[in-house]
Amino acid sequence: MLTQTELTALDFKPAAIIVTGGAPFSHPMIRLLALGVPTVLVSAQTARHLEYGKAVFVDGLNGTITQPPPSKVNTGLGPAPPPAAPLILSDGSEVQLRASICGREEASQAVNHGAAAIGLVRTEFLVPDQGRIPDAAFYRSVLSALCDAARPLSVTLRLPDISQDKPVPWLEQTIVAASPLGLLGVRLFDKEPVTSVINAFVDAVNELAKSYSINLLLPYVTQLEEFRYWRSVLERRLHNKVSIGAMLESPAAILALPHWFEIADFVAIGCNDLMQCLFAADRDIAELSPYLDAYSPQLFLFLQQAANAAGDHIDRLQLCGLLSQRPGVLPILLGMGFRAFSVAPVMLPYLAQTVKQIDMADARALAQQVCEAKHHHQVRELL
């Protein structure tokens, strides 16, 4: 049993973890999910009811703790589908379950768990030893190893997305504003040493694009002009064909969705930061976690508007973040029209199983009911 702040010191892989007072959408929790360790978040009051020294069963999928453990345990997890196996819905449309990863080991896990592609690589976590500033040689080495592990999948590399809640050892934190709505993503790209790191990264990608199927994703883009500018900067260094997409994480950017498809090769919506903006609650502060409600009808109403705005381009739109991995949420999103999701590799078999069981008429009806609900309690009852 650990607190959220103690997670960063975890140096082994336990059988399960109970986190007291954690923030579900925080970066420490995202990294923890990538380990594939069953995890349940509880309040300090609930934790006091658990008997120390006694065995417990932790069900990370359903978020339950049983003490003493049941005599029989059913994980509910079927065999992983073969790599890139198509998932076809009852209406004939295809669902793409892609993987969000941080490194080579997760790339291999994604392939083994049937990912359709690597939908997002969090490249800010790729750091040289001793916290040195990354150069092109470092990126060529680490990214080629990652792409090798991901074969035969295409790989979307998000350019280093640095922020106050994702510090990197080679950058002084004084450069990064101490706010989740400050200098982050592309807003740091014109500040040294970030500029040099981005140039080195793109130079490495330019070489690797000769051998691998690579896409680039610009992080935390909020304005169309901003994307146009940085796309032109990247293309001046790219001599090999690389698709360039925009990661939208603010309501204002997503409301302009139809225009993004005119200037970007593809679009990703970052649901974690979107929720942070939408609910005005820092996702790394545990006390604010009740505001970040994954079952809020207002959140789903906003996402339905986004799906409608995407229209015929929805196959170029990918949802990232923890939202689609929450129990019962994927059928709602499918009912809205979304078809591409980038998730933790460990979740791929579970979500694939869910997709195979969905009736699209029921999913569309569920999505409509959720958007018409007045309170999150009603949404949970519908699930």
CATH number for the domain including 298? 3.20.20.60
Q: Do 244 and 366 share a domain, yes or no? A: yes
pLDDT at 122 over 80: yes
CA distance 25 to 19: 13
| 221 in any annotated domain | yes
Band (pLDDT 50/70/90 cuts) for residue 42 is confident
Q: Do 104 and 60 share a domain, yes or no? A: no
Residue 82 CB burial class (10 angstroms; 0-12, 13-18, ≥19): exposed
CA distance 50 to 56: 9
Closest CA to 116 of 92, 95, 93, 96: 96
| 74 in any annotated domain | no
Band (pLDDT 50/70/90 cuts) for residue 168 is confident
Q: What's the gap between Cα 186 and its chain centre?
A: 18
Instruction: Read off the pLDDT of each residue in 162-190 and give the average, rounded to a whole number.
Output: 79
Task: Supply φ then ψ for residue 139, to 5 degrees.
Answer: -65, -35
CA distance 144 to 305: 38
8 A C-beta contact, residue 225 and residue 189: no
pLDDT at 174: 66
| 72 in any annotated domain | no
The pTM assigned to this predicted structure is: 0.89
Q: Do 281 and 154 share a domain, yes or no? A: yes
Q: Do 177 and 315 share a domain, yes or no? A: yes
Q: Do 192 and 229 share a domain, yes or no? A: yes
Instruction: Read off the pLDDT of each residue in 177-204 and give the average, rounded to a whole number.
Output: 89
Closest CA to 264 of 227, 313, 229: 227
Helices (H) then strands (E): counts for the chain:
14, 14
CA distance 171 to 193: 7
Q: Do 32 and 105 share a domain, yes or no? A: no
Closest CA to 42 of 53, 31, 59: 59
CA distance 123 to 163: 13
Q: Do 269 and 320 share a domain, yes or no? A: yes
| 81 in any annotated domain | no
Give the highest mean pLDDT range of 51-55, 81-85, 179-183: 51-55
pLDDT at 74 over 70: no
Q: What's the gap between Cα 335 and its chain centre?
A: 20
Range of the domain at 274: 87-382
Q: Do 26 and 107 share a domain, yes or no? A: no
Give the highest mean pLDDT range of 4-13, 296-305, 345-354: 296-305
Question: Which tokens sit at 124?
Answer: 């800010």
Among the residue ranges 71-75, 77-81, 204-208, 363-367, the one predicted with the least confidence is 77-81
8 A C-beta contact, residue 275 and residue 292: yes
The radius of gyration computed from the CA coordinates of the chain, to the nearest angstrom, equals 20
Band (pLDDT 50/70/90 cuts) for residue 163 is confident
The domain boundary residue, chosen from 66, 99, 116: 66
| 76 in any annotated domain | no
Domain count for the chain:
2
Q: Do 41 and 162 share a domain, yes or no? A: no
Half-sphere exposure of 194 (CA within 13 A, CB side): 22
The pLDDT tens digits of the residues spanning 246-298 come to 999 999 999 999 999 999 999 999 999 999 999 999 888 888 888 999 999 99
How many beta carbons lie within 10 A of that of residue 54, not counting itself?
Answer: 9
Q: Do 225 and 346 share a domain, yes or no? A: yes
Question: Which tokens sit at 382?
Answer: 């519908």
Going along 16-152, which residue ranges are E strands? 17-20, 39-42, 57-59, 64-66, 87-88, 94-101, 118-122
| 254 in any annotated domain | yes
pLDDT at 172: 80
Q: Do 57 and 99 share a domain, yes or no? A: no
The domain boundary residue, chosen from 13, 36, 66: 66
The domain boundary residue, chosen from 37, 66, 95: 66
Q: Do 263 and 330 share a domain, yes or no? A: yes
